[in-house]
Amino acid sequence: MSTLIRFNKPFGVLSQFTDADGHPGLKHYISMPGVYPAGRLDHDSEGLLLLTDDGALQAEISHPKFKQRKTYWVQVEGVPDPTQLKSLRNGVNLKDGATLPAEVKQIDEPNLWPRNPPVRFRKTVPTSWLSLTIREGRNRQIRRMTAAVGLPTLRLIRASIGQWTLDDLQPGQFAVEDIHRPVDNRRLPDTGSGKSTKRSVRRPGNQGSVPKKSTSRRNPR
């Protein structure tokens, strides 16, 4: 059995346990021993970060060869036109090569927590929200993609990775799940070869060992 943590990473927090360059690390929120991030999220991005104590599961979540679906809510400067959306869907040419096609659509502003610090707007330029799903993980890929089509990113929230979503986690909160994975077929739970059991939700400043028998709230999807 493996442990998986869903963490809503706040703006400005690093995807590592140690502090660096004036930014706090995960140790200020999660003190469970033996868990490590499965992938990363830039300090100026928010939302879902997964951690686990299972090295194989960590690789299956984060390694590019598994092409896990990652969905982001992106606030951009400007209003996208059909040509810009088509460019994102077809793949964007970046300095390190063309991206894979993305799933993208314009959405209403999500019901989100206020960002600290607030996003800096230009009063004369409207903003829009996109839902953008990719299967890659290049450095600052979403920001580079939207900038390449003329829609600079102002705010970036990762909403899901594979089958795991933010649900109702607020910034700094995390939820713990037990992942039951067959020893002879160690693949991701959403392949049908494993099951997950949610254990608890922890809030900022309430660190330490996680109770083994508790339940967390879950929003309908």
- Torsion of the alpha carbons at 216, 205, 156 and 221, rounded to the nearest 10: 10
Count of residues in the chain: 221
Decide the pairing of beta strands 2-9 and 174-180.
antiparallel
Options 19, 21, 42, 167, the catalytic residue: 42
Please tell me whether the peptide bond between 24 and the residue prior to it is cis, using omega within 30 degrees of 0: no
What are the DSSP E strand ranges found in the chain? 2-9, 36-37, 46-52, 70-77, 93-94, 97-98, 103-107, 127-134, 153-161, 164-165, 174-180, 195-202
179 touches 1 (CB < 8 A): yes
The residue with tokens 């040509």 is: 83
As given in the structure block, the two tokens for residue 59 are 């690789």
Catalytic residue list contains 42: yes
What amino acid positions are annotated as catalytic residues?
42
